[in-house]
Chain A
């Protein structure tokens, strides 16, 4: 157990809908990262928040947004869902802002299925 928690574990929804994924970082970690992993694919970096502010952005679609709250938990919002959005969404956290001073620890993931 990495100490990073994600809810829900599974989510099934229909095209066009909107969902919210939640992540709580390890105690003391200030950065939260979101990744998308499609079936048998690698990890695509979506976005990073550090202490409440957006720090780095990857291949995140405009239909997706995220935020980090004062208690450091983070939410990833996915809207106007398409079949291709079906994937495993991982959250990771690290102690500091990132780079060589940090190690990312992954949560168990949320499996999103869009029907």
Chain B
């Protein structure tokens, strides 16, 4: 069935460094790729998304890249801050059939001050 693999499961960086989280999806019909940030005990919140007609999107310190041929997409956070510490989920959603959104397993990011 459809699957989204996310790596790494845990990432620890020093404040000010960059963090990169990578995801791979299996369903070639996927064409919408959101990223969510979830702080402890809180709801997942959308931080950035990308659609299949775009290869890269940037919003301040956050950027997402998409390689549809390789079925890879990545989240890049630059100049990390302690408040970036959270669990990040990638997801892939097809534009056909049941529109199921499949989430990756999550990456726990620690930003050390």
Contact = CB atoms under 8 A, between A and B. Distances in A.
| B is a partner of A | yes
Chain A interface residue count: which class? 20 to 34
Given A98-B93, A104-B34, A42 B105 contact: yes
| Chain B interface size, under 10 / 10 to 19 / 20 to 34 / 35 or more | 20 to 34
A101 B101 CA distance: 13
A97 B95 CA distance: 10
Interface stretch (B41-49, B55-63, B69-77): B41-49
Contacts of A99: 31-32, 93-96, 99
Interface of B: 31-32, 34, 36, 42-46, 49, 51-52, 89, 93-106
Interface of A: 2, 33, 35, 41-45, 48, 55-58, 90, 97-109
Give the 4 A-B CB pairs with smallest separation, nearest first.
A98-B99, A56-B98, A100-B32, A99-B95
